[in-house]
């Protein structure tokens, strides 16, 4: 089987998994891939397991393997002047392994509001937070201030710790009772908007 063929089957399987959140049975895989012979579908599945894209799960099922969520990393793209396209083969990146160091301590929150807009964090973004109870001054933190969550820069002055927005329309937040660090901001993701007319 040619590697390009394997990539084609893997792409179809990833699309299916995105829609259904399950890896289908071998019989269903054959239908998905347009392969009539069950043995051929089994052979493709075995190749995907050998490559680390699938792995065995309880009940004679399959589940995504460690490479299933890899995405091509074709290189860097300029946001300034155009440059010639590179012909070098693409590397790969798994978004979780790139962004998340401690999966068990990582949570995602949806942003509401524009107080962090100058830090490029917009209303509707999903921010990735690593659970920690301490942070350095200047880090963006998810903090609980007087029993309410907010995402802000951690700051300190002679009066103690406080929070600063990344939007001049918002003043500093000083706790009346308590300021607790819930976690530290490590990244975000958003779906791109509509193209400009």
pLDDT at 142: 95
Please give the mean pLDDT across all residues of the chain.
85
The gap from C-alpha 146 to its chain's centroid, in whole angstroms, comes to 30
Res 80 pLDDT > 70: no
Cβ 149 vs Cβ 183: under 8 Å: no
- Which is the catalytic residue, given 25, 110, 112, 115? 115
How many domains are there within the chain?
2
Q: Does residue 97 fall inside a structural domain?
A: no
Q: Does residue 90 fall inside a structural domain?
A: no
Residues 55 and 124 grouped into a single domain = no
The region of weakest confidence among 51-55, 79-83, 171-175, 190-194 is 79-83
Residue 115 structural domain:
103-189
**How far, in Å, CA of 43 to CA of 41, rounded?**
5
pLDDT at 99: 78
CATH number of the domain within which 110 lies: 2.10.109.10
In the beta sheet, which residues pair with residue 153?
A: 140, 164
Antiparallel, parallel or unpaired: β 148-157 and 160-164:
antiparallel
Cβ 121 vs Cβ 151: under 8 Å: yes
Residues 124 and 177 grouped into a single domain = yes
Examine the residue annotation and report whether 115 is marked as an active-site residue of this protein: yes
Res 4 pLDDT > 80: no
Res 97 pLDDT > 90: no
Q: Does residue 164 fall inside a structural domain?
A: yes
Cβ 149 vs Cβ 101: under 8 Å: no
State residue 122 phi and psi, 5-degree precision.
-105, 160
CATH number of the domain within which 36 lies: 1.10.10.10
Collapsing DSSP to helix, strand or coil, 195 comes out as coil
* Greater model confidence, 78 or 48: 48
* Mean pLDDT confidence for 72-86: 57
Q: Does residue 93 fall inside a structural domain?
A: no
Q: Does residue 72 fall inside a structural domain?
A: no
Examine the residue annotation and report whether 152 is marked as an active-site residue of this protein: yes
pLDDT band at 89 (very low <50, low <70, confident <90, very high): low
Residues 59 and 134 grouped into a single domain = no
Q: Does residue 195 fall inside a structural domain?
A: no
pLDDT at 27: 85
pTM higher than 0.85: no
Give the length of the chain: 197
Residue 139: CB partners within 8 Å, gap ≥ 6?
Answer: 153, 154, 184, 185
- Tens of pLDDT, residue by residue over 138-181, are 999 999 998 889 999 999 999 899 999 999 999 999 988 889 99
Residues 160 and 111 grouped into a single domain = yes
Residues 49 and 126 grouped into a single domain = no
Handedness of CA 153, 154, 156, 160 (dihedral sign): positive
- Which of 64, 89, 112 is where one domain is finished? 64
Cβ 72 vs Cβ 86: under 8 Å: no
- Which of 12, 45, 64 is where one domain is finished? 64
- Tens of pLDDT, residue by residue over 13-51, are 999 988 888 999 888 999 999 888 888 899 999 999 999
- Which is the catalytic residue, given 25, 102, 112, 152? 152
């Amino acid at each position: 089987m040619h590697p390009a063929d394997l990539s084609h089957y893997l792409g179809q399987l990833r699309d299916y998994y995105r829609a259904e959140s399950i890896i289908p049975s071998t019989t269903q895989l054959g239908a998905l891939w347009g392969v009539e012979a069950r043995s051929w579908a089994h052979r493709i599945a075995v190749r995907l397991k050998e490559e680390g894209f699938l792995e065995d799960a309880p009940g004679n099922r399959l589940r995504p393997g460690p490479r299933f969520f890899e995405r091509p990393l074709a290189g860097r793209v300029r946001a300034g002047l155009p440059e010639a396209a590179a012909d070098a083969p693409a590397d790969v990146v798994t978004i979780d392994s790139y962004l998340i160091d401690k999966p068990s301590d990582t949570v995602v929150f949806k942003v509401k509001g524009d107080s962090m807009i100058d830090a490029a964090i917009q209303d509707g973004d999903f921010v990735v937070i690593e659970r920690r109870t301490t942070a350095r001054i200047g880090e963006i933190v998810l903090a609980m201030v007087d029993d309410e969550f907010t995402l802000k820069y951690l700051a300190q002055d002679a009066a103690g710790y406080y929070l600063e927005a990344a939007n001049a329309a918002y003043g500093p937040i000083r706790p009346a009772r308590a300021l607790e660090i819930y976690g530290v901001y490590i990244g975000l993701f958003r779906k791109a908007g509509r193209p400009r007319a």
